[in-house]
Structure 1
Amino acid sequence: MNSTTDRARIARQRTPLNRSQIVGFWGAWAGWTLDGMDSFIYALVLTPALTELLPRSGYAATPGNVGLAGSILFALFLVGWGLSFIWGPLADRFGRTKVLAGTIFTFAIFTGLAATSHNVWELGIYRFIAGVGIGGEWALAGTYVAESWPEDRRKMGAGYLQTGYYAGFFLAAALNYTVGVHFGWRAMFLTGAVPVVIAILVLLRVKESEKWQKAEAGSAPKKPLREILGPAYRRRTWVACALLTIAIIGLWAGAVYEPSAVIQLATRAGMAKGDAIKTASLATGLLSIATILGCLALPPLAERIGRKKTLAIYFTGMAVSIAGAFGWAFYLPNGLAPFIAWLFVLGFFGGNFALFSLWLPEQFETRVRATAFAFCTSFGRFVGAGVNFLLGAAVLQMHTLGVPVALTAIAFVIGLFIIPFAPETKGEVLPQ
C-alpha cells in the first residue's frame, strides 16, 4: 500500500474512548442539556406562574406587576448564576465528578421544588439556589471533558458538549407543548427534577479524570482563586473574563429580545397574535439549530487557524449579524423574513461559546483549572446581567428594542481589540 495513504489513514484514526469517558461525556452533555432546558422553562412558564402566585402574595396580577416580579426573579436567578464560582475551588479540591454531580443535583432539586411554591418569595428563593447550581455546570462539565478525553479528541468534545445547552431549548419547548399545555406550570418545573438521575449516574459510573488525580497527588494549591489572580495567571484571567463578558452580553441581547422582535414584526406583517407567537417559536428553533451548527464548525476551524483568529471571525460575525438583524431588518416595512434570515447568521456565530470550552482549559494548569473556568464565566454573568438591565432601561426609554440591541454589536468590536492580548494555544497539549 502507498506509504502516503498509510500515513493519511493513521492520521485519521482517533484514540478510542473507554466506557468511563463515554458515560462521563454523556452525563456532562445531558447535564448541560437539562441546564438549557431549566433556563428556558422559566421563560416559558413565567406569566402563568406569576399570574397564580402574585395574588397569593398580596399583589394584583396586572401586566405591570407580572413584568416587575419577573424582572426581580430573573435578577435573583442571575445573581445565583454568578455566585456559581464557588464550585470551581471545590472541584479543584475534591474532584470534578463529585462536584459536577453536586451542581446537577442542586439545580434539579430546586427546580423541582419551584413546583411547590405558594408565593413569589418561595419561587424566588428556589430560582436563586437553582441558579447557583446551573451556573457551575458549564465550568465543571467543560473542565471534566477537557481533562478526561484523549488529547486528539478533546477539541471536538468541547464543540459537542456546547450543543447540549441549545438542545435543552428544544426539549423545554417540546415539554411545554405537551406537558405544560395539559398540566400547567407546576408540572413543567417538576420535569426539571429529572436531572437527579443524571447526577446519580455521574457519581456511580464515572471515574475521576487522571489529570486531576495526578495533580491532587502533587501540590494542589490551597487558595486557587488567589493563584489565578496572582502574577502567573493575572493577565490571561482578566482577558478571558473580558472576552467571556462580551460573549455573554451578545447571547443575552439576542436570546432575550429575539422572540419579542419576531412577534412585533409578525404582528406588523398582519399576523394574528397566535400565529405571531408560533412564528417566534419557529424562529427560536432556527436560532438554536444555527447555534448548534456553529458549535460543531468551531473546533476544526480553531485547530486549523488558531484560537484567536477563530474567535475574531465569530465576534465579527456576531457584530455584523446583530447590527443587521436589529439595526436594519427590524425597521424594514416587510422585515420579518430578512430578520429571521439574519437570526440564522447570528445563531451560527453565537456558537463562539464552544471556543471557551476548548480554550479556557488550555490556559490553566489542572490544579487551578476549574477555579479559573468558574471565575471567568461568573464574572461575565455579573457584568452581563448589569448590561442586560441597562438594555431593558434603554428599550423602555427609547420605545423601541431595535436600536438598543443593535448597539450591543459595539461590544464585539471592542472584543476584537482585546483578543490579541490572549495566549494562543493552538497545537499545545493540555497543561498538567
Structure 2
Amino acid sequence: METNQQNLFSGEDEATWKRRWKMMYASVAGYAMDGLDMLILSFVMTAIIKEFGLSFVDAGWIATYTLIGAVIGGYLFGIMADYVGRVKVFSLTILLFSVFTGLCAFANSVTELNIYRFLSGLGLGGEFGIGMTLVAETWPAAKRARATAGVAIGWQLGAVLAAVLSALVVPQFGWRGLFAIGVLPALFAAWSRRGIPEPDIWMNRKLLKESIKKKMANGEVLTETEKEVWSQANKFPLMQLFAGSRKTVTTFALTVMTSVQNFGYYGIMIWLPTILMQKHNLTLNKTTTWMVATVIGMVIGIYLFGQFADKVGRKPAYITFYICSAAAVWIYSLLNDPISLLIGGAVLGFFCNGMMAGYGALLSEHYTTDARSTAQNFIFNSGRAVGGFAPVVIGMLAAKYTLNGALVVLAFVYLLAAVNVFFLVQETKDVKLD
C-alpha cells in the first residue's frame, strides 16, 4: 500500500530554505526564552528574599523547583513529541512556561511562587530537545551541527535579554513587573511557530505507520520492512534508548557528555564571579564586564564549534574542545592580572560552552525518529539534573581546598569526558536520519 509522502524539507530550492530558516528562527526564539526565564530569577532573587523574608536556603529552593520541573518536563514532553508531533508539543511547552512565568508576578506567598516556578519549569525542560530535534530533522546533514549551533546561541540571547529587561523594568515596576513583562517575548516565541509543518521524516513515519495499520486491519501481508517498522513503532520511546548493549552504552556515554556540559557551565558561571571578587578584589562592575566577555566567548565558541564539527566530525570536535576546556580551566586558576582574567574568561566561555553547539546534531544522529525527541530531552535534562549539583560540589571542594583547587578538579572532569567520547561514542558525521 502506497502512502502520500510529505516533501517540504528535502529540496534545495528557495521555498525549502525559507521553511528551514523559519524552523531555525522559531527554535532559536524558544531556546532564548529558556535563557530569559531562567536568568530572570537570578536578577530578582534579592528583591524576592526581601519581600517574603526568606533565608538563602528558602530562596535556593525557588531555583531548585524550577530545575526539578525542567527535568520532569523534559522527560514527559520529549516522549509526547515523538507520539503526537514535534511542532504541537513545542508550542505547548512555550505557552506553558510563558503563562506560569506571568503568574509569578501575582504570587502571594513563596509556596505559590514555588508552584508557578515548578510548572514553568515543565515547559522549559520540554522545549530544548524538541527545538533541537526540529532543526536536526529539517536541515541537511552536511550543515546539521551548524544549524543546531544556531539554536544553542538562543540561550545566550535570552540571557542578554534578561539583563536588559531587568535594568529597564525592575527599577520602575519591581520584580513582579519583570515576570509580567517576561511573558511578552515568550508569547512572541509561541506566535513564531504559526504555520510551521512537522518535519518530513516524522510525518512520513506517521503516514507509514497508518498505512501499515490499515493493511493489518484488512488482513494483508506485511513486508519485512513494514514488520520491522511496526515493531519499532510499538516500543515505548524511552525503552529504545536502552535497546541492546550498544545502544545502552551510547545512551550512557552521551548522558555523561551532557552532565559534564551542564556541570561545567553551572560550576563556572555560579562560582567564578565569587573568585573574581574574593581572590582578585574586583568590583561588581568589573565582574559584570568579565561576565559579558565570557558570554561573548561562548557565542563565538558555539558558532565555530558547529563549523568545526561539520567539517572534521563529532568525535574530533568534542575531544579537542574537552582537552582545551581542561587546559583553559587549569590556566585560568593560575591567572592574577585583571586583563588576563578578562581574556581568560572569554577563552573559558569559548571552549567550555562552545560544545553546546553539537548536542542537537549528535543526539539526533544516534536515535530513530520514533525516539529522537525523547532521546534529546531525556539525555540533556538528565545532564541538567547532574549539572544542578555543580555549585554545591564545587562549594564543598572549595571549603576543603580552595575555589581555585576546585577548578583544577573541574579540569580533570573535562579530561575524563574526552576519554569517554574516544572510547564509547561512535562517529555520526553526515549520517542519514532514519
Q: Please give the TM-score of this superposition, normalised by the length of structure 2.
A: 0.86
In the other structure, the counterpart of 1:386 is 389
In the other structure, the counterpart of 2:237 is 224
In the other structure, the counterpart of 1:241 is 255
- Residue pairs, 1:247-262, within 5 angstroms: 247-262=261-276
Retained in 2: the 8 A contact 1:216–1:367?
no
**Counterparts of 1:281 and 1:255, CA distance in 2:** 12
Q: How big is the shift at 1:222?
A: 4.3
In the other structure, the counterpart of 1:79 is 68
Q: Of the candidates 354, 357, 372, which is equivalent to residue 357 of structure 2?
A: 354
Q: How big is the shift at 1:244?
A: 1.0
Corresponding letter in the other structure for 1:345: V
Retained in 2: the 8 A contact 1:298–1:355?
yes
Retained in 2: the 8 A contact 1:37–1:169?
yes
Retained in 2: the 8 A contact 1:229–1:237?
yes
Corresponding letter in the other structure for 1:248: N
Q: Of the candidates 172, 184, 202, which is equivalent to residue 182 of structure 1?
A: 172
Q: How big is the shift at 1:303?
A: 2.2
Q: How big is the shift at 1:23?
A: 2.2
Q: Deviations over 1:396-420 (max 9, x none)?
A: x348533223321221111111102
| Larger deviation, residues 148-157 vs 177-186 | 148-157
In the other structure, the counterpart of 2:51 is 52
| Larger deviation, residues 374-383 vs 257-266 | 257-266
In the other structure, the counterpart of 2:339 is 337
- Residue pairs, 1:158-173, within 5 angstroms: 158-173=148-163
Retained in 1: the 8 A contact 2:143–2:310?
no
1:130 aligns with 2:120: yes
SS at match of 1:328: coil
Corresponding letter in the other structure for 1:177: A
Retained in 2: the 8 A contact 1:221–1:367?
no
Q: Deviations over 1:318-361 (max 9, x none)?
A: 11122222x212xx3xx433222211111111110111112111
In the other structure, the counterpart of 1:198 is 189
**Counterparts of 1:115 and 1:401, CA distance in 2:** 36
Q: Of the candidates 78, 84, 92, which is equivalent to residue 88 of structure 1?
A: 78
Aligned residue-pair number = 395
**Counterparts of 1:180 and 1:372, CA distance in 2:** 38
Identity %: 26
Question: Aligned in 2, Cα 1:191/1:401: closer, same or farther, shift over 3 Å?
Answer: farther
In the other structure, the counterpart of 1:211 is 201
Q: Of the candidates 364, 367, 370, which is equivalent to residue 367 of structure 1?
A: 370
**Counterparts of 2:181 and 2:270, CA distance in 1:** 23
Corresponding letter in the other structure for 2:387: G
Corresponding letter in the other structure for 2:338: L
In the other structure, the counterpart of 2:329 is 322
Corresponding letter in the other structure for 2:314: R
Q: Of the candidates 415, 424, 427, which is equivalent to residue 424 of structure 1?
A: 427
Q: Of the candidates 301, 304, 310, which is equivalent to residue 308 of structure 2?
A: 301
SS at match of 2:370: helix
Q: Please give the TM-score of this superposition, normalised by the length of structure 1.
A: 0.86
**Counterparts of 1:400 and 1:47, CA distance in 2:** 26
**Counterparts of 1:324 and 1:79, CA distance in 2:** 34
**Counterparts of 2:112 and 2:407, CA distance in 1:** 32
Retained in 1: the 8 A contact 2:293–2:343?
no
Retained in 2: the 8 A contact 1:14–1:153?
no
1:105 aligns with 2:95: yes
In the other structure, the counterpart of 1:140 is 130
Q: Deviations over 1:135-164 (max 9, x none)?
A: 221101000011122344433211111111
Question: Aligned in 2, Cα 1:291/1:15: closer, same or farther, shift over 3 Å?
Answer: farther
In the other structure, the counterpart of 2:214 is none
Corresponding letter in the other structure for 1:192: G
Retained in 2: the 8 A contact 1:104–1:199?
yes
**Counterparts of 2:192 and 2:150, CA distance in 1:** 20
Question: Aligned in 2, Cα 1:133/1:182: closer, same or farther, shift over 3 Å?
Answer: same
Gaps of 5+ in 1: 1-12, 55-60, 270-275
Q: How big is the shift at 1:223?
A: 0.5
**Counterparts of 2:394 and 2:112, CA distance in 1:** 28
Corresponding letter in the other structure for 1:338: S
**Counterparts of 2:375 and 2:152, CA distance in 1:** 18
Retained in 2: the 8 A contact 1:111–1:127?
yes
In the other structure, the counterpart of 2:409 is 407
**Counterparts of 2:92 and 2:176, CA distance in 1:** 24
Retained in 2: the 8 A contact 1:15–1:150?
no
Retained in 1: the 8 A contact 2:33–2:189?
no
| Larger deviation, residues 147-156 vs 314-323 | 147-156
Corresponding letter in the other structure for 1:211: I
SS at match of 1:205: coil
Retained in 1: the 8 A contact 2:397–2:406?
yes
Question: Aligned in 2, Cα 1:401/1:201: closer, same or farther, shift over 3 Å?
Answer: same
| Larger deviation, residues 340-349 vs 379-388 | 379-388
Q: How big is the shift at 1:243?
A: 1.0
